Amino acid sequence: MSAPTRTSRVGRAVHPVGGRALLVECRDGAEVRGLRAALDVDPPTGLGEMQPGARTLLVHLTPAAAADPRLADRLAGVLAELPALPEADHPTTGDVVVIETVYDGADLADVAAALGTSPAAVVAAHTERSWTASFVGFAPGFAYLEPDGDPLDVPRRATPRTAVPAGSVALAGPYSAVYPRRSPGGGSSSGGPRPCCGTSRGPSPRWSRPGRGCGSARSARS
């Protein structure tokens, strides 16, 4: 038996998932990161593995919590009400990856035009920010990176590409990403990410996991 859906005083809903997990709905990615950080600092009884999403946090129950509805319900109450930890108080590991990038992407000029700036300004804005792997989705190893400052908010392509080369550095909406393997550039009608920045010279795409930081370093055109 799973815990019932809860809604907190701050509007955070917690839903049971198959009796073995709880899905927490947050306002935005910042609240997801803050809640996860708070749970990392002081994990409550029954807390198992956590899987962040764009605006959700999937919390797996320990076997004991999955077998005890009262324990699962108490954990759901904690998840609903626990204050998210401010960004400045998030635990850090110093685990940062620097990805050298050749900014030669086919969409760089289009992205600059959409943002009302120059290609050089887009490159500067991308490299000046630090990026955090907030969650993984779309394809294995595909991490959605969020910046430490204001997002660039790049419009998506009207028509997605059928194939984007592995190592392409992309911007779409508030996110940046490094394609871990050759794959379509998005499959929904809203379009796909723009591989605007170029090609990474960094490590294997398997570097990316939620919570790990990265930065882009401009590399000379080959």
Residues 100 and 207 in one domain: yes
Token pair 């899987």: residue: 51
Among 89, 108, 137, the domain boundary falls at 89
pLDDT digits (tens, 9 = 90+) for 102-142: 888 888 888 888 889 999 998 899 888 888 888 888 888 88
How many CB atoms sit inside 10 A of residue 128's CB?
12
Residue ending a domain, among 89, 114, 139, is 89
Token pair 């379009």 is found at 191
Quote the pTM value: 0.77
Residues 121 and 156 in one domain: yes
**Domain ranges, residue 64:** 6-89
In-domain check, residue 1: no
Element (H, E) at 131: strand 130-136
Q: Are 39 and 53 in contact (CB under 8 A)?
A: no
- Looking at per-residue confidence, does 202 or 183 come out higher? 183
Indicate whether 152 and 208 sit together in one domain: yes
Q: Give the number of domains in the chain.
A: 2
Asked whether residue 125 falls in the same domain as residue 142, the answer is yes
Q: Which CATH number is 49's domain given?
A: 3.30.1360.40
Range with top average pLDDT, 6-15, 27-36, 96-105, 190-199? 27-36
59 shares a domain with 31: yes
pLDDT, tens digit (0-9, with 9 covering 90-100), for 49-66: 999 999 999 999 999 999
For residue 41, what are the contacts with CB-CB under 8 A and spacing of at least 6? 85, 91
Lowest mean pLDDT among 43-57, 120-134, 153-167, 186-200: 186-200
Q: Which two tokens stand for residue 151?
A: 């997002």
